[in-house]
Amino acid sequence: MAWDSSRPVPWNRLIREWLIYAAIMSAVFLIFFRGSNGLGAVAGVLISGPIYLGFGAVMAKFGYQRTRLKDMRGTAKPANEPVESETDASSDAPRRKPAPTSRTAGGGNRPKSSSRRKR
């Protein structure tokens, strides 16, 4: 898609996502960098804010709109709907038993019983 300056930028969503990211990553960095310089790691997280907001705004002007989890849940197929198979799904007859194979021991290759063995 081409750049369109009239496309809206979802500032509230971008800021909220970055604030959640910044809070989680700051806590993680403070826990893992307790003995060393954790302040530098937190400063790096704070500097990432304008970069994230700027990149998100440019992508919004190009027409990118990330799918939300709420939207995905709304378009999901309900679980109680029957799934049609590739064969005849309209027949109510039970499925046939599959033909025996060498792996299912239905093809006559069963081991002989011990009473038949003679020494």
Residue-range domain boundaries for the chain: 11-67
Taking the CA of residue 93 as centre, how many other CA atoms within 13 Å lie in the half-sphere pointing to its CB? Answer: 6
Q: Which two tokens stand for residue 41?
A: 């790691």
Does position 89 have pLDDT exceeding 70, yes or no? no
Degrees, nearest 5: CA angle 72-78-82? 140
- Mean model confidence pLDDT for the chain: 81
pLDDT at position 78 is 63
* Distance (Å, whole) CA 112 – CA 34: 70
pLDDT at position 104 is 75
pLDDT digits (tens, 9 = 90+) for 91-117: 678 888 888 887 776 656 566 666 765
pLDDT at position 82 is 58
Does position 76 have pLDDT exceeding 90, yes or no? no
pLDDT at position 39 is 81
pLDDT at position 77 is 65
Q: Do 23 and 29 touch, CB atoms closer than 8 A?
A: no
* Model pTM score: 0.56
What residue type is assigned to position 110 of the chain?
R
Does position 24 have pLDDT exceeding 80, yes or no? yes
What residue type is assigned to position 47 of the chain?
I
pLDDT digits (tens, 9 = 90+) for 29-40: 888 877 777 788
* Distance (Å, whole) CA 22 – CA 111: 67
For helices 38-61 and 11-32, the axis angle rounded to 10 degrees is 160
